[in-house]
Amino acid sequence: MHRLTCPAFALLLVIATMASASAQKAIITLGTATPGGGFPVYGAAFAEAVNAADPSLQIEPRNTKGSAENIPLLEAGTIDIGLVQGEAAYEAFAGIGRPPVNLKIISAMYSSPGMFVVRADSPYRTIKDLAGKPVAFGARGSGLVILARYVLDGLGLDQDKDFQAIYLDRAGDGPAMVLDGRAAALWGGGSGWPGFTTMAQAPGGARFIAPSPDEIARIRTRHSFLKALTIPAGSYPAQDQPIASVGSWSFVLARPTLDDETAYRLARALHRAEADLGTKLAQARETTAANTAAAAPNAAMIHPGVAKYLREIGALR
């Protein structure tokens, strides 16, 4: 019978320990969106912060076509969690154009007030000025495209009939189209959105076009689920005034079969990582346990594992 030497025994012990840790680690796939948009940037920060807060979790971001693809991927169980823009989530939960989904909320992400951006030397000043012009509304699978549809409908405008609508294969292609004149404007939303940042940093600068106070009232009268939201001053270079608009909260949603224990651990890790996540990405400062409880249309939409944790810390009754 051969005896293991001390170094050999130590090596086996390390291997066994690593194998045990690997077996216990929960690998969670996260659906984001096309490169160049806000979701991949958020997804990368989300994964890094959660993985650091709880090494037993391993979030693995995956590029997708955005909210419109993430929802069916979640329903099929192809991804574990996915980023879904507010209007896309609203339609999915309400069963608009499809049966209602059985997905659950893991976390609120951030609020997304929608608006247009044009070059600073552009003659366009209002939304109606853009009617009939080529406008890049984003990637077709993006929830921001749905937000634009509701905003324009509230003003009596049709996204496809009243504009030369451009739908992108990659969200990141939009700024170049405005800068070189192929598009008059780019639609987007929220603070720190990459397309807006690119435009604001471009030579000559940029200018934002959002609904007027009267237009905001008209939009919300027609689509009451939209919220009056404000983009704080300084969210983009040379933006020295706050911008009022309408929009909603985006969410991290889970597949129907995600177990309660994993969802609980995710909620706990996110709560621990709030400061770190906000440092990594400005708009992610809104990703908090308190905002998750407040932004959910109702508590029943929150994953039971997440709800358990939120109640433990007093964020949810």
In a domain, 6, yes or no: no
CA-CA distance, 281 to 297, in Å (whole number)? 25
H helix count then E strand count, the chain:
12, 10
Nearest to 90 by CA among 165, 149, 155: 149
What's the number of domains the chain is made of? 2
Q: Are residues 256 and 238 in the same domain?
A: no
Domain match, 160 and 242 both: yes
Tokens representing residue 170 in the block:
């990659």
**Which residue range(s) make up the domain with 244?**
112-248
Predicted pLDDT of residue 16: 47
The token pair at 260 is 């309660």
Provide the residue type at 293 as one letter.
Answer: A
Helix (H, G, I), strand (E, B) or coil at 128: helix
**Considering the domain boundaries, does residue 2 fall inside one?**
no
Which residue, 160, 224, 236, 169, is CA-closest to 196?
Answer: 236
Both 175 and 77 in a single domain?
no
* Residue 15 within a domain: no
**Residues 121, 225: one domain?**
yes
Q: What 3-state class would DSSP assign to 200?
A: helix
Q: Which two tokens stand for residue 293?
A: 């409880």
The packing angle between helices 67-76 and 86-94, to 10°, is 50
Query: Is residue 33 a contact partner of residue 83, using CB atoms and an 8 Å limit?
Result: yes
State the pLDDT at residue 4: 52
Provide the residue type at 93 as one letter: F
Sign of the Cα pseudo-torsion (179, 158, 246, 219, in order)? positive
Please count the other Cβ atoms lying within 10 Å of the Cβ belonging to residue 131: 17
- 126 and 238 share a domain? yes
- My answer on whether 117 and 236 are in the same domain is yes
Residues 116 and 244 in one domain: yes
Please state, in angstroms and rounded to a whole number, the distance separating the CA atoms of residues 21 and 3. Answer: 27
Is residue 12 in some structural domain?
no
In terms of domains, do 191 and 269 share one? no
Mean pLDDT by 10 residues, the chain (317 residues): 53 49 78 92 98 98 96 98 95 94 97 96 97 95 91 97 95 94 96 93 96 98 94 93 96 98 98 97 95 94 98 96
Evaluate whether 226 touches 191 at the Cβ level (below 8 Å).
no
Length of the chain: 317
Closest listed residue to residue 150, CA positions, set 97, 218, 95: 218
How far is residue 61's CA from residue 64's CA, in Å, rounded to a whole number?
Answer: 10
- Choose the final residue of a domain: 248, 268, 287: 248
Tell how strand 134-139 and strand 164-168 pair up: parallel
Query: Is 1 within a domain?
Result: no
Tokens representing residue 32 in the block: 């984001």
Amino acid at 279: T
Give CA torsion, residues 50, 100, 144, 69, to 10 deg.
70
Task: Give the end-to-end CA distance of the chain in Å, rounded to a whole number.
Answer: 63
CATH of the domain at 217: 3.40.190.10
Same domain, 102 and 127: no
How far apart CA 315 and CA 51 sit, in angstroms, is 23
